[in-house]
Chains A and B, each alone.
Chain A
Amino acid sequence: MSEFFAMGGYAFYVWTAYGLTFVLMLLGIIKPLLAHKHILRSLIFKRKREKTS
């Protein structure tokens, strides 16, 4: 197992490449999901305000 993580001495390069890819791809999903919630909420808020005014 430790041999697997050592990547034949290239651990730093291999795991940094994979780690960075993982983080950026995850962020690329989380960001629009959060934005979606935010947009829906602000649209609901807007509608309410239009009704009461």
Chain B
Amino acid sequence: MFMRFIYKFSSPPYFYAISGKMLPWLTALFLVLLGYGLYGGLVTAPADYQQGDSFRIIYVHVPAAWMSMFIYVVMAISGGIGLVWRIKLAEIVSISSASVGASFTFLALVTGSLWGKPMWGTWWVWDARLTSELILLFLYLGVIGLYSGIEDKRTASRAVAILALVGVVNIPIIHYSVEWWNTLHQGATVTKLDKPSIHIDMLIPLLFMAGAFKVYYFIALLLRSRNELLEREQNAKWIDDLLEKVK
């Protein structure tokens, strides 16, 4: 049942049609999650007893950082699927994820810097967490550059998938960097095995923001994938029918 759905979903005309129908609903869901998350994070959550109101940067910093890693894993896995089974849609999902992931990585670094300056007294330190996240940004930029540098898009997808898969090593390094090395960056407060060491009033808006960012990624991914699909399939019959409707 599930596999049949996946099989159907990965057929280009079907994917194009259904993703178009999903977009308004996803946008509504995103706005609800974002609205509640922002209100909770900026208004109802109490100021931190040590960091005051500067801690509110957490509501953009942490979701962006989570997404930077999540998207990388999606990009590598779908790239791998494209590499092994030659599924066109998997290749498209992989490359369409790259620029969204790069933006979130950049945001995680910059918002972290804006949080670090008032709290640590410095914009940047070359510690394990920050450096490994910077390497993640370079990996994304490498993927984007490599893809645009190869004329044939199917060859480009294969090359990019290999680079993305090799770079996956960096993901556990980012996650565990705060445990493996002495760093200025604080340890995990939410994603650890015991109870999260963050107050529930602060945690709930964070989870809403994380949800909003995830839905955002899905929206941005669908938009980009649809474009990539149109460009790759431009001579296909289903595009003729589609263009008839648009006119």
Q: Which residues of A contact B (CB under 8 A)?
A: 4, 7-10, 13-14, 16-18, 20-21, 24-25, 28-29, 32-33, 35-36, 39-40, 43-44, 46-47
Contact = CB atoms under 8 A, between A and B. Distances in A.
A14 B53 contact: yes
Contacts of B114: 13-14, 16-17
Contacts of B220: 28-29, 32
A26 to B, nearest CB: 10
B243 A44 contact: yes
Given A36-B226, A43-B243, A24 B54 contact: no
Given A28-B216, A29-B220, 15 more contacts: A4-B43, A7-B53, A8-B52, A8-B54, A9-B52, A10-B52, A10-B53, A13-B54, A14-B53, A17-B114, A32-B223, A32-B224, A32-B226, A39-B231, A44-B247
A-side interface mostly? helix
Contacts of A40: 230, 243, 246
Interface of B: 42-43, 47, 52-54, 56-57, 60-61, 64, 99-100, 103, 106-107, 110-111, 114-115, 117-118, 216, 219-220, 223-224, 226-227, 230-231, 234, 239-240, 243, 246-247
Nearest to B52: A8
A7 B243 CA distance: 51
A28 B106 CA distance: 13
Contacts, number: 82
Contacts of B100: 28
A9 B52 CA distance: 9
B47 to A, nearest CB: 6
Q: Dominant SS at the B interface?
A: helix
9 contacts: A14-B54, A17-B111, A17-B115, A21-B64, A25-B103, A28-B99, A32-B226, A36-B223, A40-B230
A29 B57 contact: no
A29 to B, nearest CB: 6
Contacts of B223: 29, 32-33, 36
B226 to A, nearest CB: 7
A8 B227 contact: no
A13 B107 CA distance: 13
Nearest to B47: A8
A15 to B, nearest CB: 10
Given A14-B54, A14-B57, A47-B243, A36 B106 contact: no
